[in-house]
Structure 1
Amino acid sequence: MKSIRVAAAVATAAMALTACSSPTHAGAAAVVGSQRISTSELNKDTQDYLAALKKANLDESQLGIPATQIVLQRLVNVAVSDQILERNHVQVTEGEIDAALKDPGQFQSPEINLLSQGVAPDDARAYGRAIAGLTKLQQQFGGEAGSQRLAQEFNSVKPVINPRYGVQNPQRSQENPGIFVDAGRFGKLTAQAATQG
């Protein structure tokens, strides 16, 4: 059976999620700047994602964290990316989005790569735009040398996550990139799942 590891970074950017007592808008799973990610949007995307996992003969248990958390992480990453791309006047073409979506990453197929990022392949355009845009922005910042500036831009947008979806991992690092830790609601992470993120 295929296995997936949850990737925690988009491009080279490290995301700092801020979990606080409650988002500023009722019914929000997260608030990213002025953009609200509703619980209904999260629920719909999670159902689409679970269906895509099933279609690929994969199971949510292989993620190591609940599907809701990986989908919420992706929605937040895309919202943050959209804001920094707009702020830096980065335009992305349809061809660049197509190319980003064809990348297999570290997996054997583009489909598995998308699933590892919390993306249902049938609904991946916004994610592809974010990836292509972040790549262009890093080049604009000086290529590999610009990765630190890209990370700073990415971390300058501080999302507010509804605590009902989990608690931020305070010991998040390169070795343990998981965004969430057990808040007593989702069950305990195994040591292996926690280190795999």
Structure 2
Amino acid sequence: MHRRRRTALLLSAVIAAAPLLAACGSDAHPGAAAVVGGQRITVAQLEGRVKEVRAAQRAAVTDDAQYAQAVAQTGTLTRDTLHSMVLDQVLQRAAEDAGITVTTHEVQEMRAGLEQQAGGAEGLRKAWLQQYGIPPQRLDENLRLQLEAQKLATELGTNTSQPAFWNALSKASKALGVDLNPRYGSWDARKVSRVDAKTPWVREVSTAGTQRTA
């Protein structure tokens, strides 16, 4: 994945809506979508995050056609959401290793500045949902992560698009030992990225309940 794309995923959790591979969960971690640093991200937690985005999208549009269009434009939400949830923890580990902290006041200051640019609080909430797939209740959490990323890059004397920044995340990723449920692909610690499983014979089950061959 191109570094600019990975940076966008890190700082914003891009919208998507994915089919799930019809495979059982990991035998070692039943019910887990991923295990990061020995801690499970459960399938239920992942599905809950996806539902938050969908509910926010539904509330933001005026009719069924607009909502259907929003869903159609976001074709890999489940997998991208899991990628973001893992990457958030990797970033937090890298920030902790570097002694980086972010205060609530800093988050509030960043939000106030962005709201001014967006024409108000509602404008910011809409922009973050439409551009990055961040529902309103996750906005402050996302801004905190952005500040962590910015501070980490500054500490490293670089920016979030440069190799030095991603090398720090790769180191944290390896230390955490990320393990994805195979139905969502695998995790490449060197690239700090989720990788789709190359199993074209596996049957996929869409979120709508229809079946197709991958």
Question: Which of 58, 64, 84 is residue 94 of structure 2 equivalent to?
Answer: 84
Whichever residue aligns with residue 64 of structure 1, its letter is G
Identity score, percent: 23
Question: Which of 137, 144, 155 is residue 140 of structure 1 equivalent to?
Answer: 155
TM-score (ref. length: structure 2): 0.62
Supply the RMSD in Å over aligned alpha carbons. 3.8
Q: Is the 8 A contact 2:46 2:82 kept in 1?
A: yes
Question: Which of 7, 26, 30 is residue 26 of structure 1 equivalent to?
Answer: 30
Deviation track 1:4-42 (CA, whole Å, cap 9, x = no partner) reads xxx8423697xxxxxxx9384221111122332111111
Question: Which of 7, 10, 17 is residue 7 of structure 2 equivalent to?
Answer: 10
What's the offset of the Cα at 1:50? 0.7
The residue correspondences of 1:111-190 to structure 2 (distance < 5 A) are: 111=125, 112-144=127-159, 147-156=162-171, 157-158=173-174, 159-164=178-183, 166-167=184-185, 180=196, 184-185=203-204
Q: Unpaired segments of 5 or more residues in structure 1?
A: 1-6, 14-20, 188-197
Question: Which of 53, 60, 69 is residue 79 of structure 2 equivalent to?
Answer: 69
Match of 2:17 in 1: none
What's the offset of the Cα at 1:117? 3.5
Question: Which of 88, 93, 107 is residue 97 of structure 1 equivalent to?
Answer: 107
Deviation track 1:163-185 (CA, whole Å, cap 9, x = no partner) reads 22x33599xx9xxx985478641
Where 2:105 maps in the other structure, the secondary structure is helix
Distance of aligned partners of 1:184 and 1:97 in 2 relative to their CA distance in 1, 3 Å threshold: farther
Query: Is the radius of gyration larger for structure 1 or structure 2?
Result: 2
Q: Unpaired segments of 5 or more residues in structure 2?
A: 11-24, 62-66, 207-214
What's the offset of the Cα at 1:160? 1.6
Deviation track 1:132-161 (CA, whole Å, cap 9, x = no partner) reads 101001001113499322101112204221
